[in-house]
Structure 1
Amino acid sequence: MNLSHFHSLSSSSTIFIFLSIFTLLHHKTNGATCHPDDEAGLLGFKSGIKSDPSGLLKSWIPGTDCCKNWTGVECHFDQNRVMNIYLTGQTTTKPETTLSGTISPTISKIKLLTGLYLLDLKHISGNFPTSLFNLPNLTYIYIQNNNLSGRIPENIGNLAQLDVLSLTGNRLTGPIPSSISQLTQLTQLKLGNNLLTGTVPESLKNLVNLTFLSLQGNQLQGTIPNFFSSFTNLRTLELSRNKFSGNIPISISTLAPKLMYLELGHNSLSGKIPDFLGKFRALDTLDLSWNKFTGTVPGSFKNLTKIFNLDLSNNLLVDPFPEMNVKGIESLDLSNNRFNLGKIPKWVASSPIIYSLRLANCGIKMKIEDFKPSETYFYDFIDVSGNEISGSAIGLLNRTEYLVGFWGAGNKLRFDLEGLRLGQRFKYLDLSRNSVFGKVPKSVVGLQKLNVSYNHLCGQLPQSKFPASSFVGNDCLCGSPLPPCKKSGV
């Protein structure tokens, strides 16, 4: 192609694009009103809303252009037909938005609706809106963190075109309908934080396109189905906070190449932690907390080099704990097992990004001064209670302005409490059952929770909201909420 021909082609292409944009804009600006069916559907939805304290829907005025002027309404690019309804309670410019009411069946008039997003509105109530079955183009349903109740309809499988079904954070009851297995186009199924009961239908294995499966925070029971070899694209599996029992099924091992989030905490799972979990090289988060796992943590965990969040707390696990090769852990919780770690592991201290370290009752016997993290800037939470840690915590706690909470109860810590600098973010401090001495500084009034009971503190307490139980068992503390100080003046 010679240069003049290129310029000619480029110029004509530019003119064509300009004319197309002009035509589109002209078409949109002249479309002064909604399509009649869409307007009726939207105004019907508004009529089902009984309370709108922040005026989220005040722009929904009959006879005006819903595509341009109505909050939360998005239209198809090339026509004045409504494509998405997007209403959210999370805003940065004003207090949280809420809507109270039900989803009107007139929403079925919006025939080209592709996505329904009702997020964090808190008080959208009633049953699942079966009128959505009459919307042939509906692909995305997000009715999250509202107040839907009743059962998920048995015929939910009729919405065969769905890509996402998210009903997280409602009050839905009853079993998971087996017809959900007919939604074979689904990439995300989120039914977490409801009141669902029964077992997980074996037929869910038909949802072979899933990348995200969340059933957490329900009352589901029985064993976790052994059907995960069907889910070759799954990246997130959330089954925490249910009543599942039995072992971790072997088919979960097939998820190793891609799975990033595996959350099985707060169930009644038992047996040993399977060795195959060490093959999950892409794993970001592993939560096995609050179960009944026994035995040792597999040595294969040294292969979890990318893991950021590891929670094995509140099980029956025993030594030895494997030496990890993690590059930088953000959150670690090994509390309340049967470990005798001796010291805080070096791979923990070397992490440059850790913000939460919880090692309560882990058999740690060391001077706290010997814990020398390479970076304390990001620390938010440190819980080392119930160990045999001695020395002064001042050096560690005064190194960061960002610490929110420190729990060191039931150790052998000994230092002057007045030397502790409590930054503005500091909200939780538990030093009970140690050998801390000195006076209680006035800066504790900025805390939300405080417990310095059973130490060697003395002197008059500063005015605070804390109960007597926060201060009992010391040498000579006095003043409200404890008995008044003697006039001779402690």
Structure 2
Amino acid sequence: MTNPIWVSIFSTLLIFSLHTYSSHASCNAADKAGLLSFKTGITVDTTGILSTWDPHQDCCEAWEGIECNPTAGGRVTGLQLVSRKGGGPSIMKGTLSPSLASLHSLEVLVITGLQRIGGSIPENLSEVTNLTQLYLEDLMLQGTIPSSFTRLRSLKALSLSGNHLMGQIPSSLSSVSNLVQLSLARNLFMGPIPDSFGGLSHLQILDLSHNSLSGVIPASLGLLKGLTYLDLSHNNFTGKIPVSLGNSNMLQDVSLNHNRLTGGIPSQIGGLKSLMTLSLSENLLTGMVPVAITSLPKLWSLNLSHNILSDPFPGNAISPSLLSIDLSYNGFHFREIPYWIRERAMTNVHLAGCGITGSLPRFLRPSQFNSIDLSDNFLSGDINATFARMPYIEKIKLSNNQLRFDISRIMLPHQLFHLDLHSNQIYGSLSGFLKGQPFKFLESLDMSRNQITGEIPSLISEMSNLVMLDLSRNQIEGTIPSSVGQMGRLEWLDVSNNRLEKKIPESLIMIGGHLRHANFRGNRLCGQIPQGRPFNVFPISTYLHNLCLCGKPMPPCKSSN
């Protein structure tokens, strides 16, 4: 996901670097030739941008994506090729031509989101020494970062995120000393973070997430006094969180999640008084949470889930600014939802696997809730009273508890996207539950492993945005309604281990193009399986333990004779 801070600074840099030149700039002939040579390397362009690059037109006046400086002989100073929003696929297919290096006055080069531009980054791109911003994002670039990039001494923003670049991150990048932003996220980089990165004294944003980087997080990152955004998530870092990070007191967002970090959370992090979001989830962190962290004055999002942290959690010192908290799957044993959550306005509360017992409480200020996850606890009773006052909640996860109530008496909040109630003791009629529910936004519904009865009503097709439907392991009877074939976004369908009978309707072929998973096993179904993809190529286990299903992938149906 694009970080809002990154977008904000990116936009600001563009505003100040692409000067508002006077009109009637006449395109420099050498630059025009270089751009046309670049165009020949693009074999497919669905954006329509390059169709405006008519060799008979002035590139400064008529070509889309081009900025020029008329006071310097019409030299090209900006080239921006960006994926269009909305409509069909917005791609360019081809390679980056070395002719880009002939644009000697180029200050801003932005090629992003075009998906099919491959090959390597031209080594001679370093000859464009006036570059202040270089964004080659969400393409298919391969190879390594050219060693010659050290010559780009004017560069302030470098993003190569969303490509297939590999090898180690060159330590020589630290000689590009004016860098304010550096993003190498979503690539295939391996090895350590160069210790020399601590010398990038102007750096404000560092994003190395979603790679295969390893080793320890260098203590030298604590020398980056102006750093505001640090994302090292989804890598293979080991060792401890360096205490020196507490010296980068401008930090606002820190994401170290999905690594293999060990040891405790350093109390020095509590000195980051500007910190707004902290994510340390999916590591091997141990010990207790320092009081200094929970009391950070601007902290609004804290995610410590999936670690080995232990009681007691310092909730008494929790910051008034905190809106979102995830403490799931640690060694915490709260017994009940803590009062410092119940009595404040929260947006996201995730306390899965925290040893919570009893009934769901009434939250005193529930109207701002966006999501709640209390899965894998020991909750019992009803849910209506809890969620009746949460009109804007979008995600509810209460799976694997001891909840027992009549599903037909539940009314869902109107904004709900995701409902997961699997593995409880819920009973009642499925038809009664679905009748009158607001289905406008619901994308995921999991009610598996309960005691739900009745038939699947044809009005189920009114859940037109549903992507995932799991009704498995209940006591549902009757037939699969043909209207399921109208659920055009469905990717996951599981009705296994119920009491369904008769045929799988042929109309399901209409959703086959999106369906990735289906399971009909363990029912009383009979007749020919729909003979079209993907139904006739699903594994045979999809259809086992029914009365008499036949046709691929099951044995052939017997002749009516």
Match of 1:205 among 198, 201, 204: 198
Aligned mates of 1:161, 1:358 — CA distance in 2 = 45
Number of the residue aligned with 2:533: none
CA gap 1:356/1:302 in 2 versus in 1, 3 angstroms: closer
Task: Normalising by structure 1, report the TM-score.
Answer: 0.86
Q: Any idea what SS the aligned residue of 2:51 has?
A: coil
Determine the structure 2 residue equivalent to 1:409: 399
Whether 1:372 and 2:363 are equivalent positions in the alignment is: yes
> Per-residue deviation at 1:206?
1.9
Q: Which whole-Å CA distance do the structure 2 matches of 1:265 and 1:468 have between them?
A: 27
> What are the superposed Cα offsets for residues 339-366 of structure 1, whole Å, 9 maximum, x if unpaired?
11222233334444x4332211011123
Kindly state the Cα deviation for residue 289 of structure 1 after the two structures are TM-superposed: 0.5
Q: Distance in 2 between matches of 1:145 and 1:302?
A: 36
- CA distance in 1 between counterparts of 2:340 and 2:449 reads 33
Aligned-partner Cα distance in 1 for 2:75–2:338: 60
The answer on whether the counterparts of 2:168 and 2:192 sit within 8 Å (CA) in structure 1 is yes
Change (3 A) 1:138 1:339: same
> In the alignment, which residue of structure 2 is the partner of 1:271?
263
The SS at the match of 1:268 is coil
Q: CA deviation at 1:90?
A: 4.4
User: Shift in Å at residue 385 of structure 1?
Assistant: 0.5
Out of 468, 483, 489, the position equivalent to 2:499 is 483
Deviation at residue 290 of structure 1 after TM alignment: 0.5
Partner of 2:48: 55
Distance in 2 between the 1:444 and 1:342 partners?
33
Q: Is the 8 A contact 1:458 1:475 kept in 2?
A: yes
What runs of 5+ residues in structure 2 fail to find an aligned partner?
A: 1-20, 481-494, 503-561
Query: Residue 325 of structure 1: CA displacement?
Result: 3.1
Higher deviation after alignment, 260-269 or 160-169: 160-169
Secondary structure of the residue that 2:36 maps to in structure 1?
A: helix
Secondary structure in 1 matching 2:380: strand
Which amino acid counterpart does residue 470 of structure 2 have in structure 1?
Answer: S
SS for the counterpart of 2:454 is strand
Amino acid corresponding to residue 434 of structure 1 in structure 2: N
Change (3 A) 1:219 1:403: same
Equivalent of 2:149 in 156, 160, 167: 156
Aligned to 2:332: 339
- What is the one-letter code of the residue matched to 1:267? N
Aligned to 1:145: 138
Letter in 1 for 2:425: S
Aligned to 1:91: 85
Map Cα deviations across residues 203-229 of structure 1 (whole Å, 9 max, x no partner): 222211111111111111111111123
Q: CA deviation at 1:398?
A: 3.8
Q: Equivalent residue of 2:285, what SS?
A: strand
CA contact (8 A) 2:387 2:413 kept: no
- 1:119–1:144: 8 Å Cα contact kept in structure 2? yes
Matched, 1:281 2:273: yes
Deviations 1:267-315 (A, max 9, x none): 1000011111112111111110110001111122232121122110100
The reply on whether 1:234 has 2:227 as its aligned counterpart is yes
Alpha-carbon displacement from aligned partner over 1:25-58 (angstroms, at most 9, x marks no partner):
5xx33x4x41111211221222111111131222
**For 1:11-410, what aligned pairs fall within 5 Å after superposition?**
25=22, 28-29=23-24, 31=25, 33-76=26-69, 78-79=71-72, 80-91=74-85, 94-95=87-88, 97-255=90-248, 257-323=249-315, 324-352=317-345, 354-368=346-360, 370-377=361-368, 379-410=369-400
Change (3 A) 1:386 1:77: farther
SS in 2 for 1:415: coil
CA distance, structure 2, for counterparts of residue 167 and residue 132 of structure 1:
14
Percentage of identical aligned residues: 35
Q: Which residue does 1:471 correspond to in 2? A: 471
TM-score, normalised to structure 2, is: 0.76
User: In the superposition, relative to structure 1, how do residues 319 and 107 fare at CA in structure 2: closer, same or farther (>3 Å)?
Assistant: same
Task: Provide the rounded CA distance (Å) in 1 between the counterparts of 2:439 and 2:299.
Answer: 38
* 4+ long deviations beyond 4 Å: 443-447, 463-469, 475-478
Q: Is the 8 A contact 2:27 2:68 kept in 1?
A: no
Q: What residue number does 1:453 align with?
A: 448
Please state how far the C-alpha of 1:485 moved relative to its aligned partner.
6.7
SS, match of residue 123 in structure 1 = strand
